[in-house]
Each structure stands twice: as C-alpha cells, then as structure tokens.
Structure 1
Amino acid sequence: MTDWLSKLNDQQRKAATHVEGPLFVVAGAGTGKTRTLTTRVAYLIEQAGISPESILAVTFTNKAAREMKERIIDMAGPHAVKTWIYTFHAFGVQVLREFIDRLNQGYKKNFNIIDEDDAKAIIRDLIKSQNLDNKQYKVNDIRNKISDYKYFKEDKFDDYHERNIYQLYQKNLVENNLLDFDDLQVLTHELLLTDEVTRTYYQNKFQYILVDEFQDTDHIQYEIIKLLGMKHRNVFVVGDPDQSIYGFRGADYNNANKFMKDFGNQVVLDLNYRSTTHILSYANRLIKRNQNRPFEKDLKSNLGDGIEPVIWSAQSDFNEANMVANEIKRLVSDYHYNYEDIAILYRNNALSRTFEDTMMKHNIPYVMYGGISFYQRKEIKDVLAYIRVLLNPNLDFYFKRIINVPKRAIGPTSVQKLEAKAKELKISMFEAIDHIDFSGKAKDALHEFKSLILEMSDKLNYMESLEEIVMYVAYHSGYIAMLEEEKDDISEDRIDNIKELKSVFVQGEQFYEGNFVERLQQLLDQIALYSDLDKADDRNAIKLSTFHQVKGLEFKVVFMTVMEDEIFPSPLSTFDPKDLEEERRIAYVGVTRAKERLYLTRSESRLLYGNWMNPSPSRFLKEMRPVQEVFTSRKFESSPTQKNTTFLNAGDKVNHIVFGEGIVVGVEDGIATIAFKMPHGIKKLLENHPSIKKI
C-alpha cells in the first residue's frame, strides 16, 4: 500500500480507491474530504494508470484548485501537472476559448472577461444614455435582474426600459467581445447542450470527473457535470448537504437528490479530525432538527471530549463585545493562544461594527473577511486596463477607463465625440482617433495618447518575463507620477498596492506556459476570476467574519455572536421551512469551524439599524443544549471576566473629540460619568460612543 493510502481511514480509502462508476462521498465537516479527493486522483494516475489529461477536477476557489493541484503532484509525481483542475468559471473559460465561435452569437475566441464592477459601470452608462431616472432605475437592481434572466431564464424586468437596458447591455458585450461572470457558465452549458461537436469532444476527453464542495453547486453547474459525465459515468462528487448555505447565490440543495437519481452510489465520511466530542455534540443535535436531509449522519471525533461549549448573555451589545474582547485577552495571556487562532462570527456584516470598534479600543489586532478586494481597487483596475489595451487597443471598454488617467486634457465631451465617431465608422475608439474632426488641445492629447499606447504596446514584443510589465506600465503611463504628486498617505498606499500587483505577476511565471503574450493573457484571465478568500492573510490577528465567509476554514477558538431570534435565524426565514433549515445549516457551519473552544453569545438589548431592540435568545441555542434553559438571561453561564465587560472604569483618563481630556468618575448600565476640564464640567455619556477614547 502506498504511503498516502495508508494515511486514510477505512471509509476514506474505500472512496479513494473507487475507480469505475459514479460515487457521492458524503463528507461531514472536518472529515478529510480534500485529502480523500486528491488521493483518489493520485490513485487513478499512479495505480489505475489513467492519463492525467483525461481527468477533470472542479472546485469553487482558485486557492482550492491551486492547493489541490499541488497535493496531487506531490503524491503522483510531476506528470500529474497535466490533470485538468479548475474552478467552474475557469473551466468555462477553457471551453469557450476553444469553441465559443460555434455558438454563432458574435463572440470571438479572444474575448475578455469583465467583473461585477465593470458590468455595473456599463449598466450605469446605459441608464444615463437612455435619459432614465437613476433613482427609479437602480444599477444593482437591474444587474441582478439581468443575471436572473441569463441564469434562470426568469424575466423580472419591470418595464420596457429595463428590458431595453438588458438588450443594450448584451449588445455592448458582444460588440466589445466581453463576457461577464454569468456568461462563463451559461454559455459553457449552452455549448455542451446544443453543440454536438463540443459535447462529444469533452465527453471523450474526460473519462473521470471529480467535483469538490458539491453541495454548493447550482443547477447550471450540475447540468454541466451531468453533460460531461453521462458517457463514461465516472462522476465522483464530494460534499455535505448539511453545509449547503449558498441558496441566496443559487446553490441548489436538491442537487444531492438529483445525483442519486441520475448516478447513484454513496460513501459516508463521519469521523471528524477537527473538533472535540463536546463541540460535535452541539453540531449533531442542531442539524438533526432539519427534516429535509438527503443523508443522515452523526459526526464522531477522534480528539476526545475537550471543553464544553459555553453560552453567555450580556446586558447590551456593547457589553457583549467587551465580554468577547476580555475573554480573547485572557485566552492569549493565560492559555497562550495566538490572535490568529480566534474568529468572531456573526450572521451579517451589519453586526460587525460594535465588534470592530471594541477590538480597536482594546488594541486587539483584527482583519475583516469580506472587505474590499485587492483587485477591486481603482489603481489595480487602472493598471490592468492599461495592460489589456496594450494587448488589444481596440477594447473600447478598457480604453475609455484609461483615456484620461492620468489627466491628459481629454474631457468627457471629447470622449463622447470620439465614441460617436467610432460608432459612425463602425471601428474602435482607438482607430477613430485618426478620423476625429475637432481641433485644439484635445486632438493633440488624443494623438499623443495613441502614440503612447503604440510605443508601450511595441515594448511588449521585447519582454520575456511577466514581472517586467506592471511597473513599466505604471511608470511609463504617468500613473506613478500622478500618485506621487498627490503626496498623501492614500496615494502612498496606492503605490504600494501597484507594487504588490507586481508580486502577482512574478508568481504567474510559475503557473503559465507559452510565449510572453500567451502567459500574460492566461494571467489576466486568472485575475478576473480571483475572490477575497484566494488571498492569504498571514497577519497574527483575530478574524471578524460572517459565517458564509469562513466556510471551509477552521479556528482553535470560535465566538458565535449575536445568537438572537429575529437576527439568527433571520426574520424572513421563519415564514418558510426551507429557509429556516438553511439558517440552521449556517449555524451548523459556524459550530463546526471550532477546534477546541466554542462560545455562543447574545445580548438582552441591541442597537441595530438605528433602533433599540430586546431580542430573545436564538432558538438554535435551545436546540444545541436542550437540557439547560437558555431563554432566561439569569440562567446563562457567566463569563469569567463578566465583571470587566465595561470598557471604562472609575479613574480612567479619556479623551473626547469635543470635550477634550477627562477623568471617569463612574460607570453604570453603559453610561459613563466623566469630569472634563472647564468649561465642560461633568458629563454623562454613552460609554461606547466612538467619540471617547481611553488614554
């Protein structure tokens, strides 16, 4: 038996050595699903003699795909690099690069991919060009309706104008040879469904298909897998329906039942290597309340009983946050946990504010998952737009973004005239520069800009390494000079971000093949598919996050906060049993992130969306611990630091943004009495007000 097979338990080994026929690996949280899947690929290559090029493995994030490939190569050797391992979107790119012209919809194989911000920018311009009221016709609303129409064929457009914007939007994409994220999967599905040449090619190519995180697949993704796998039927999916929490993104909970009907056969992984028995008992009791479970299982731990989870109540949301902060400091000082071992989880981002403010006041380092993505920052999008234009100057969408960045005396009126001329002559805006019929500074600036693009584009012919291009573009375009002239902290950060972009291109040399332009195009495709969680965060800091953002991650210590009805479960979910079951699965995901310690916290009063509320404890608390009454606040366990849940204490020196320095006289029920210097005197203020900082 190979060394990597000997590391598996019996059920994992049964799944990993399965060769012929379909299999659903029902893999509970922390049961080693990724190891099982990667070992199965290595087994197919090493033991069964299957060609790596005939194996397709798909997952949901670039990080997961990258790690999967590294593990497989480590087990099966360098030739395993030819295994097709992609995200669903990246696989779509590969298919469309080869066959998109067979759809006869006007697209060419050298299409570019736009992200959500770019898609919304097009819609915003269309609303303006159609002289529509942007208060009535909202960009996000129309973008969602376009996505629903493409993906689900659901016509939710309110009127003629919205439907017309969709038609103009799609026309804009085709004319500029652009695809949005929906297209990457919708058009791939359409090709496989309607074009026998494409379908036959990929059915013959891929004898073995593997899918990670199957519970997160939507109806289009399932149909793609089904179309690819129906010939050989060697479809191997790994997932846990109990962790299906992306219904709002279109994930289809019924895909598990569809698979069992279309393919059948299952193996259950229920031995958990992450959490202790006490933590898993909470998870098992909770998820058993769901009636609609395709597979029933109880997770078992091989780590012993561990520490019993605790349930805490606080008088207010501010006290809850301070209670958590004090416990974090105790865990770090007394039990030698690192900050990075700890996560604070909540149901939605609106609940993060109090915790973020409190961590800052306590000088506890933190990072927030779900903040602005590196690739969404203006300076990054600008530099990438320059690079795309250097590859193809006829891309009007990117051309318009950079035509006056940095400012070069080309105003909106000149851009509109140039765009009109391009449409009149049915050429690109770049080509239309030679046909403009206005004079003055704008004309000179346009010709200078065209010369600059041609000069920089020519330079690409002499480049060999991807790392050369970022700083060349940033400096030669004048972008760095523009930022340096601003001379502030923000511009310095933006320069640092551009330098960090160079790191991405340096790393790209390791992953892409072909000549310089081919490697560059592959890297740009990959960047278009990045998400927040693909970025590593090595800082020693606690994580503030929604439950959704940490799915797939684990932490030694987890605080599940704001465990209150009307918040978690969300109020709308209580009207539909299916929605309530998804809320329960979200809570289940939260519990199963914890390795050693689990805290469940709530408050008796909360300021949310500008209103005070007095929420009841979440019903999920009662479901997790039915033997103890948790609906009465005095029955809650007390934190060992409960008496120190306030931020201020008598004698503390503070600074107020208006009243200046003062001394705390006393604190009662969240109200601080503070003596300020004259003429302000004694003031009673909310202890948690952001205007107060402890000195």
Structure 2
Amino acid sequence: MEISLKTLNEEQKAAVTHEAGPLLIVAGAGTGKTTVIAQRIGWLIETGKAKGDEILALTFTDKAAGEMEERADKLLPYGYLDLWISTFHAFAEKILKENALEIGVPNDFKLLNQTQQWLLVRQNLDKFDLDYYRPLGNPTKFIHALIKLFSRAKDEVISPADYLKYAKELKLNADSADFLKNILDQETIKALSKKEKKELAVQEIKKAEEAASAFHVYQRLLLENNALDFGDLINYCLELFKKRPAVLAKYRQKFKYILVDEFQDTNYAQYEMVKLLAAPRNNITVVGDDDQAIYKFRGASVSNILEFKKDFPRAKEVFLNQNYRSTQGILDLSYKFIQQNNPDRLEVKLATSDKKQATSDEGQTKKFSKKLIAQNNEPGLIRHLPFETVDDEVRGVLKQIVDLKEKDKTAAWSDFAILSRTNDAANYFVSVISQTQIPYQFLASRGLYNKPVILDILAYLKLLDDYHEGPATFRVLNFPVFGLDLSEINNLQHWAYKKGSSLFRALQAAVLFNEIEEEVREKFKIIVGLIEKHSRLALEKPAGEVVIAFLQDSGYLQALTKEDSAASIQAVNYLNQFYKKITDFENSSADQSVKNFLQLVELEMEAGDAGALANNLEEGPDSVKIMTVHAAKGLEFKYVFVVNLVDRRFPTGERRDPIELPDSLIKEILPEGDAHLQEERRLFYVAMTRAKTGLFFTSAYDCGGARRKKLSSFLLELKNVGFKIQEEKTKPGESLLIKRQEKIGGEIPEPELINALPEKFSFTQLKAFETCPYQYRFAHVLRVPVRGKASFSFGKSIHSTLQQFFDLIIQRSSVVQIDLFGDKVQSSKLKVQSLKSPVSLEELLEIYDNAWIDDWYANQKEQAEYKQKGK
C-alpha cells in the first residue's frame, strides 16, 4: 500500500499527515474534504498508527458514508474490510445492539421513523394526559409538534425526568416577576392586566406540565413496544458510556482515531458522545464549515464547530481554501455575501480568540481567512433575471437553459440545476417543464404515493378490498394496458349514475349486456376476471404477492418496461421503491394482508407522509435537476438557477415550532444575532457555491397574490457588495411554449439513459446474462420485482436457521470478560467458557420455526411438505 500525497495541496497534506491530538479542518465548499478524510484514513493505516478497525469515521447520511468508504477502499489493498465508517445513528445502533442490555434496554429493538412515531402516539392517544394539546375538534393536531419537541429534547440530552423537574420549578416560580419575560416582550407584558397575567401564567404552566407528562408517556410506550427512535440511539449510547465505564473503556481502547465529517451538522448529543469516546487521547479530527450549517430544523447546532476550540484549545487548525469547483467570480461574490453573518462566523471567532491568546503568549497572530481561491480564475457568468410574472419566470428559466445548452456544446442536461427554497416553489417549475421536451428529474424527498404508477397500484388494491370504490374503479378502467377509450368509460359511468349503481357494479353488469360491442365487452370481462381472481388471492396471500400477480397477470409490467424511455425507467424505479415498502411492511407485521397494508398507507397519509422517495443522481436519464437547496447540499452543477427570489419566499419568514423547547433547558450556545436569518443566509450561500461557471438569480414581481412582490432581501445584500441587480424585466421569449411535439432550437433527442455499471458481478448475475440478457436486464438493471419461488423461501429458511445455530455455538464457547460491570477493565482476567451446554434439538427446532419464511408456497399443503423436509 502506498498513499500518494503528490496530488494534494499544502493545506490538504497538513490535514492528512497530522500526527496526533485534536485537529479542526475548516473545509470550504468544493475544497476536496472527502478526499482529505479518505487519504487521512489511508495514511494512518499505512504509517502504522492504527489498524483499519481502530479508526472510527462518522458522517450524517448513508450516501456520504458510502462515498467515504468507497474512496478509502480504493486507497487500501484487499483485506482492510473492518473499517468503521458509518452515520452517527448506524454507529450508535451497532453499539446498542451489542450492549443495550447493560442499561436495561432491549437489544432487539425496532427503530421507528417519524411516521411510525406518529402512528404510535396516534394509536395510544388515550394514554396521554392531554387537554390543551388535544383539542376536541382535532385531537391529532399536536402529535407532530409533540414528536418534534421530544426529538429536540433528545438532541439536548434532556430526559423526561429533566422536563418534569423543569415543569415543577416553573410552577413554583409562577408568582415571580420574571416569569413572563421568557414568553413575552416587555411592552406586551405591560399592556396586560393583573388577571390576564395570572391566566397566562396558569396556561403556560399547564402546557409545560402536559408536554413533560407526554414525554414521559411516550418514552414508556417506546420501551413497551420494544422500540427506539433516532434520538434514543445517541442518548442511550451516552447513558451506556456514562453508567458502564468498562464498556466505554473498551471502545476508547478500540478507536485510536476518530474522524467526524460535516461537523457543523452535529447536535449537542452527538458531540457529547464523540468527546466521551475520544478522551483521553483526543485523537479527534473534525471537518466542517460553519458557513454551510443548514440543518437547524433537524437539531444541528452550529455552536459545536464554534465551541470546538474552547473544548480543545490546543487543537491544530487547517483551512482548506483551494476550491476545485467554481470560478473566482462566483466564489468572491459568495464570500462577500456570507460575511453579512459576521461576527458569529468561525473565521471571526477564531481570529478574535487567537489574537487574545497570541497577545498573552508569543505576541503574534495567525492569519485566518475562509476566502476561497479558485483553480479557475474566470469571472464566470453571474446574472440576475427579473420577470413580471412567475409564469414568465418559469418559461424564461427554461429558455435560458435551452439557449445555454445550444451555445455550450460540452454541456449535458444534467449540468443544469434549478434550486428553490421550498418544494412548493419547485412544483411550479415541474408542472411547466413536464409539458416540454426538456428531460427533467424532480429530486423531492417525499411523494412516492403521488406518483402515477403508485396511484395505479393503490387504486387496484382498493378494488380488491372494496368493490364500491368509485374513484379507484375509474382509475383502473383508464389503465392504458386495458385499451379502453374514454368514451367507453364515460358511457359506463353514465349508465351507473342513471341506475344509481356503483361504477364497479356497472362494470360487472356490463359484461352481460349484449347492447355493448363485443370487443368492449371482452375488455370489461378481462378486467372483472382479474379483479375477482386477485380478490381471492388477497384473502390468502400477503400484499407483495398480490401486487406482483397483478403486475404480471394484467400485462401492466410488460407495458411499463416495453420501452427504454426516461419515463419508463423512472416509473420502474418508483415501483421498486414501493415494493420495498411492501416488503418492509410484511417483515414488521403479523397481518400481511392487502387490507392491513392499505390501512397503514392511509394512516401514513393522515400523518402527512406522502411516501419517502430515494433519489440517485448517478442513475436515470441525462436530465435537468430540480430540487430544494437542502437537497443540493454536497452536489455541483455547471449552471445553477436560484429561483423565486422574492420577499418572504427566500429568505422565508421564521416559523417557530408550535411547542418550543424552553430556553432554560437548551445547552447549545445560541448566536447573538438573528439565528433564523443567519441560517437562511447560509442556505443561500450553499445555493451559490453549487455553481461551477454559471449562476443565475431569478425573481418575479407577480406571484399570483393580491400584492406585487418585493425582491428578496438577499438580492439587495448582493447589491450592497457590488453585484448589479437588473431593473428592466426580462422577456421570456416566444420559444417559451415548448410542447412535447414542438421543437426548441431544433431536434431534442431522447435523453441518454444512465444505468451505473456495477464494479463487481456475482455468479448469479453472470449466469442470468448468459442464459438471457433480457432476464438480466429485468432482474439486475431495472430490478423489477418478480414472483418468488417456494424453493427460494425454503433455501433462505434453512440458511438462516444454520447461521443462527452456529452463531449460538460460537456465543456459548466465546471468550468472555469477568469484570463486566466494574469501573476498570482488567484485561488480564479473561477465561474461556467451555461448551458445557451444547445447542439441543429442541432449541434448533425453535430456531427453525422462528426463521421459517412462509412466502411463495402454492398452498398450505406444499408449505407443510417443505417444512417437514427441512426437519
């Protein structure tokens, strides 16, 4: 193994080769921080400072962890497979799975997402002693707000007991003159009568008591249901490390070096966990940029990166400011803009603190600068495009994209990004671009249940559960695969209205009507036959089998995959995500029926969950990307359009949490300035620094409301630092109405489809391709869900049984530590347990029963035969 430092600049080398002790790497946008982290991992291993499994690298998303691991794998030879590179939550989950019983927490817990948390509270609402937070007219109104409160409390390591103590102290201080100062401003307090002040105090105490009690009940419900939420993972890890010194010592000894990526996005609890693990060596490297801290709504604390130097005053600092992405013009404008957040920025804080220290120490100061230096010294294309109406803005942006692509022959559609502050603003662009020939991809994080292909499947499943579902019947009749004309469907619907019948009953009756053309009658007969067949199947089989039966029996899947179009590939992608949703449901539910699955989807939609969407920029068509600025974090594009830059849209007005965590419980250091406006500035800075060569700001004076909109205050701030704001409104141009059948600037070819080629192929994949390339495409490229086989279920059951059997043997003969609960780890006191209690036949059969997979058997008889064969 040989880690090459030749490709690194001086600052990167200094970061990679830092010997020991705390290290703060301030990595500006586009400065190659992922490369630095991967190279540092490789360098630590190559120089013998640590083995692969003695380095812990933490980040925030699975994608970032995967990218970091991939970079490290390429640097290391085969054999370094024990790298601990993961998200904070995945790391904490792994620790708890191994050690949770030490603190009385089950180690076989289920991990609940936000929607599952909502469902847990919703289904147990009567167990919560709520009055104010459970209005009679809308009893579920505050469930989301309560869950958000519990999450924020866990971010700050606040337990239910802490919150109950706060509520009691609040009640004791109700008569204090300062009681209302934490709630209202001085002028409002003066305007209140004595009676009003007393009533307000009583109400605030009641709300605090309800919130504290609800937090306590919620935590009890989690444990009763053998479940944890994401906040619990970090908090229970902290509790484990604090209460069980032996466990903490084991992991401290294991991890000689700790690296944290995107450190500005850590919350208080995560930082506390990292500090505990790093001591006493404190070989901790944190990489971050306070100017890109944009996740306050998720509990991230920008104060962590500002506090790092206070916690580790002798920490080495490395500023990465060589930018490999943008032109100098874009970087200069971005830097001038973000300085509006001074003096609460790290650059200023570090310079100030080091100046004080230098005065008392050696009398000289270091030069701190986060001004980024570009490899590309060109000014770049930076423009403001104002429009009269939002419709003009959308069409004008699309025209600019087409014009730029014509001029820049090297540009692909995927070099263009439209970034908005919210999904609502992005939706307007989607609605227009979908009527054009321009290929696009809307990278929303939610909305799976609103995709046409998923709406189709949900409609069909509803028919299997309730024949009188009129809208579902109408949608199913409109499936292209059934070949019905709209006039034929309308005639059937008219007859149903006339007879006072449901549309489905009319469909059943129409099969027997001789007055209807035989061809149409045959189509109706096919549809009725499929529904009746799958209704019977739905009574016996799990939801996943029913969905696959519909897709294959109806010809829907064949029609969907007939063409290699961008729309077809995307639809199959949504279908795969939906099928995974069904699989997850089946794995976690005793009742796997269609009926139960539909009830779950309805509850999720009631909770405001439109279905999570997984987006992969590396796969799919070459297309213009439309997304929020939050979703664009970590990405880069040749041309970026930051849209909807008007007052109250970007920056948005501050939306406070319906139930706020009391300031007296918050442990993070809050900024002195306007925290919301500062975060919005950082978000705007992130948007600007996504651009390589072209950056466009667009706005519209008429957004459909009664009043004309003012320009965004951020545009005015840019003007104050020298950027020219265009006064004359831009004309969208005649080529705006770009219908699918029309041409814009000539022929627009079908976008190239990008399907990432795997770096490794399994024997099964190669065999599938050799047998039938089309089969390979279905199974391994499109990953279309297919009907399973009884033999596969049987094989998996046997494999799982044997794996658990051998794990149990290893566990009973493993090396165990005697002093498990002691304050000190006495590594010398180890003994090997002999296998005194081998696994009995009864235990093996119990494992077999629990591991048994009952999917894809033709009937109960066949399943019983297979199961007996396994014994």
Question: TM-score w.r.t. structure 2 length?
Answer: 0.56
Identify the match of residue 113 of structure 2 among 112, 115, 129.
115
Aligned ranges 1:4-19 → 2 under 5 Å:
4-19=4-19
Tell me the distance in 1 between the aligned counterparts of 2:464 and 2:55.
Answer: 47
Separation (CA, whole Å) in 1 of partners of 2:125 and 2:581: 35
Which residue is 2:265 aligned to?
216
- Per mean C-alpha deviation after superposition, the further-off stretch among 614-623 and 5-14 is 614-623
Distance 1:257 1:208 in 2: 22
Tell me which residue corresponds to 2:697: 600
- The yes-or-no answer on 1:311 pairing with 2:379 is no
Q: Distance in 1 between matches of 2:655 and 2:215?
A: 31
Partner secondary structure for residue 74 of structure 2: helix
SS of equivalent to 2:96: helix
- Distance in 2 (alpha carbons) for counterparts of 1:581 and 1:349: 21
Q: Name the CA distance, whole Å, in 2 between partners of 1:612 and 1:488.
A: 50
Aligned to 2:346: 294
The letter for the 1-side match of 2:435 is K
CA spacing shift, 1:352–1:36, aligned 2, 3 Å: same
Alignment-derived partner of residue 423 in structure 1: none
* Aligned CA distance change for structure 1 residues 539 and 482 (closer, same or farther; 3 Å): closer
Cα distance, 1:190 vs structure 2: 2.0
Partner of 1:51: 51
Question: Aligned match of 2:678 in 575, 578, 581?
Answer: 581
1:596 is displaced (CA, Å) by: 1.4
Shift of 1:2: 4.7
Counterpart pick for 1:614 among 700, 703, 708: 708
SS of 1:559's partner is strand
Tell me by how many angstroms 1:287 deviates: 1.1
How far does residue 335 in structure 1 lie from its aligned partner after superposition?
2.0
**Aligned in 2, Cα 1:596/1:29: closer, same or farther, shift over 3 Å?**
same
Deviates more, 1:476-485 or 1:350-359: 476-485
CA drift of 1:363 comes to 3.0
1:352 corresponds, among 426, 429, 440, to 426
* Residue 643 (1) aligns with residue 733 (2): yes
Superposition map of 1:249-268 within 5 A = 249-263=298-312, 264-268=315-319
- Aligned CA distance change for structure 1 residues 72 and 180 (closer, same or farther; 3 Å): same
Correspondence for 1:419: none
Runs of 5+ unmatched residues, structure 2:
164-203, 348-368, 455-461, 467-537, 561-570, 584-611, 657-671, 743-871
Q: For the residues of structure 2 that align with 1:563 and 1:127, how far apart are their CA atoms?
A: 42
Counterpart of 2:826 in structure 1 is: none
How far, CA to CA, are the matches of 1:96 and 1:193 in structure 2? 14
Aligned to 1:477: 542
**TM-aligned CA deviation for residue 147 of structure 1:** 2.0
- Quickly say closer, same or farther: Cα 1:490–1:347, change in 2 above 3 A: farther
Superposed, 1:152-551 pairs within 5 Å as 152=156, 153=158, 155=163, 158=207, 165-263=214-312, 264-291=315-342, 292-295=344-347, 296-336=369-409, 337-372=411-446, 477=542, 479-481=544-546, 484-485=549-550, 532=614, 536-551=618-633
Letter in 2 for 1:325: L
Q: What is the aligned partner in structure 1 of residue 492 from structure 2?
A: none
Q: 2:362 maps to which residue?
A: none
Q: Note closer, same or farther for the CA distance 1:475–1:535 as it changes in structure 2 (3 Å cut).
A: farther
Distance 1:108 1:644, change over 3 A: same
Match of 1:126 in 2: 124
Task: Return closer, same or farther for 1:57/1:504 CA change in 2, 3 Å cut-off.
Answer: farther
Counterpart code for 1:143:
I
Structure 2: distance between partners of 1:228 and 1:334: 54
Post-superposition Cα deviations, 1:235-278, rounded to whole Å, max 9, x if no partner, equal 00111111111112111111112211112220000010000111
User: Shift in Å at residue 80 of structure 1?
Assistant: 2.7
Q: Which residue of 1 aligns with 2:487?
A: none
SS of the aligned residue for 1:15 comes to: helix
Given that 1:27 and 1:239 are in contact with CA atoms closer than 8 Å, whether structure 2 keeps it comes out as yes
Stretch moving more, 151-160 or 278-287 = 151-160
Instruction: Please say if residues 415 and 637 of structure 2, whose CA atoms lie closer than 8 Å, have aligned partners that are also in contact.
Output: yes
The equivalent of 1:562 in structure 2 is 644
Instruction: For 1:278, give the aligned amino acid.
Output: G
Distance 1:167 1:489, change over 3 A: farther
Instruction: Give a deviation string over 1:356-404, Cα, whole Å, max 9, x none.
Output: 1121122322222224277999x99xxxxxxxxxxxxxxxxxxxxxxx9
Q: Which moved more, 1:73-82 or 1:558-567?
A: 73-82
Change over 3 Å in CA distance of 1:600–1:631 after alignment to 2: closer
Q: CA 1:563–1:373 in structure 2 vs 1: closer, same or farther (change >3 Å)? A: closer
CA distance in 1, matches of 2:450, 2:307: 37
Deviation digits for residues 452-485 of structure 1 (CA, Å, limit 9, x no counterpart): xxxxxxxxxxxxxxxxxxxxx9996363225645
Q: 1:405 to 1:197 in 2, by over 3 A?
A: farther
Secondary structure of the residue that 1:97 maps to in structure 2?
helix
Cα pair distance change 1:474/1:369, threshold 3 Å: farther
Q: Which amino acid aligns with 1:562?
A: N
CA distance in 2, matches of 1:350, 1:540: 24
Deviation at 1:225, TM superposition (A): 0.8
Amino acid at match of 1:144: K
Distance 2:266 2:673 in 1: 22
What is the CA distance between 1:90 and its match in structure 2? 0.3
1:572 equivalent in structure 2 = 654
Counterpart residue type for residue 321 of structure 1 = V
CA–CA distance in structure 2, aligned partners of residues 474 and 283 of structure 1: 61
How many Å separate the matches in 2 of 1:562 and 1:316? 11
Distance 2:723 2:44 in 1: 52
Relative to structure 1, the CA distance from residue 170 to residue 332 in structure 2 (aligned partners, 3 Å threshold; closer, same or farther) is same
CA 1:213–1:9: 2 relative to 1, 3 Å: same
1:68 and 2:45 are equivalent in the alignment: no
The question of whether the paired residues in 1 share the 8 Å contact of 2:385 and 2:697 is answered with yes
Please report the RMSD computed on the Cα atoms of aligned residues, expressed in angstroms: 3.9
Identity among equivalent positions (%) equals 31
Structure 1 residue 505 displacement after superposition: 14
- 2:79 partner letter: H
> 1:475 & 1:90 partners in 2: Cα distance?
37
Task: Measure the CA separation in 2 of the matches of 1:8 and 1:505.
Answer: 47
C-alpha displacement at 1:89, in angstroms? 0.5
- Which amino acid is the alignment partner of residue 299 of structure 1? L
Aligned partners of 1:533, 1:26: CA distance in 2, in Å? 29
Q: Could you say if the C-alpha distance between residues 627 and 118 of structure 1 is closer, same or farther in structure 2, counting changes exceeding 3 Å?
A: closer
Q: TM-score w.r.t. structure 1 length?
A: 0.69
Contact 2:25/2:319 (CA < 8 Å) preserved in 1? Answer: yes
Equivalent AA in structure 2 for residue 598 of structure 1: L
How much has 1:299 moved relative to structure 2? 0.6
C-alpha distance in structure 1 between counterparts of 2:112 and 2:123, whole Å: 15
Name the SS of the counterpart of 1:236 in structure 2.
strand
CA distance in 1, matches of 2:645, 2:415: 21
1:23–1:265 CA contact under 8 A, matched in 2: yes
Is the contact made by 1:126 and 1:168 (CA closer than 8 Å) also made in structure 2? Answer: no
SS in structure 1 opposite 2:124?
helix
With over 3 angstroms needed to count, the CA separation of the structure-2 counterparts of 1:62 and 1:374, relative to structure 1, is farther
Deviation at 1:625, TM superposition (A): 4.2
**CA–CA distance in structure 2, aligned partners of residues 195 and 297 of structure 1:** 42
Distance 1:645 1:256 in 2: 49
Q: List per-residue Cα deviations over 1:26-50 (Å, max 9, x = no partner).
A: 0100001110111000000012342
Distance in 1, matches of 2:582 and 2:53, equals: 26
Q: Which of these two proteins has the greater Rg computed from alpha carbons?
A: 2
